[in-house]
Amino acid sequence: GVCISCDAGLCRTFFHVTCAQKHGLLSEPTIEESSADPFFAHCRQHTDKTVARHRRRNFLTAMLRLRTWRSNRQLVSNCLDEKKLSSTSSLGKESTIDPRIQRKLEHYRELYMDLLRHREKPYVPLVKTPMFLETSPVAMRMFVLKAKALNLPIELSSHMSNTDSSKGPTPSYPVFTPDFISYFLERERKIAEVSKHISTLQNTQRELQISDASASHSYNSVSAELEKLIDIRGDLRMKLLHIVNCLCS
């Protein structure tokens, strides 16, 4: 066969292409280029053993599938020739069956087919719906294994669940404890402060709106006076130009 050299730098090892493919020494380039050599070849010394073993396993699997496909094709071709003989032998076997057994068989076949026709179809959701993580047994088993690895308690008794306020459910009714009373007083104080601050800001906003309205009125009046002065200046300039032209002439 054709011998090639190793592509690993200055390596001078030569081997056959078919042997390299069989032993997993060929690798595809990572960058797609239109080159004449679509594969890289490395010797056993410059190839990772795990990668080579994986490629060899893939090659053997492909060859096994090819042999299986060829054998199946050969069997199909052989069966086509013996089809008439097999059909004749099957008819002969069916004729040897007891008629009583044949009637029972046909009866139960009809019952089974009728049961299949009237069977309710299983429910299949039309779209994928999200589900809680607790419904997955695989995830729960993994969480249990993680808890065991971290030496965390897996099961809690009723006494522990009642005493542990951070993990237990919060009550729906108020409990007059020192913490709750301090929280309520702090909440009322903050509400009063925020309300006072809001009223102050509203007053400031109202004053700013009034000052903005007065400033806008002053700006409009000054703008009107400026336009009048610009018109007067234009008239005076035209008169001056007329007088200068008369003097020059």
For the chain, domain boundaries: 1-78, 133-155+175-235
Greater confidence (4 vs 9) lies with 4
Say whether pLDDT at 226 is over 90: yes
User: Mean pLDDT, to the nearest integer, of 142-161?
Assistant: 73
The whole-number pLDDT of residue 171 equals 44
Does pLDDT of 57 surpass 60? Answer: yes
Closest by CA to 239, choosing from 226, 224, 247, is: 247
**Cα distance between residue 14 and residue 28, in whole Å:** 19
**Cβ contacts of 40 within 8 Å, gap of 6 or more:** 7, 26, 27, 28, 29
DSSP characters over 209-249: HHHHHHHHHHHHHHHHHHHHHHHHHHHHHHHHHHHHHHHH-
Q: Is pLDDT at 244 greater than 60 in this prediction?
A: yes
> In the predicted model, is pLDDT for residue 211 greater than 70?
yes
pLDDT above 70: percentage of residues in the chain: 81
Residue 134 is given by DSSP the state: G
Better-scored residue on pLDDT, 218 or 29: 218
What rounded mean pLDDT belongs to the chain? 80
Q: Is the pLDDT of residue 23 over 90?
A: no
How much of the chain exceeds pLDDT 90, in percent?
25
Instruction: Identify the pLDDT of residue 160.
Output: 45
- Dump pLDDT digits (tens) for 83-128: 766 655 555 555 567 888 888 999 999 999 999 888 888 777 787 7
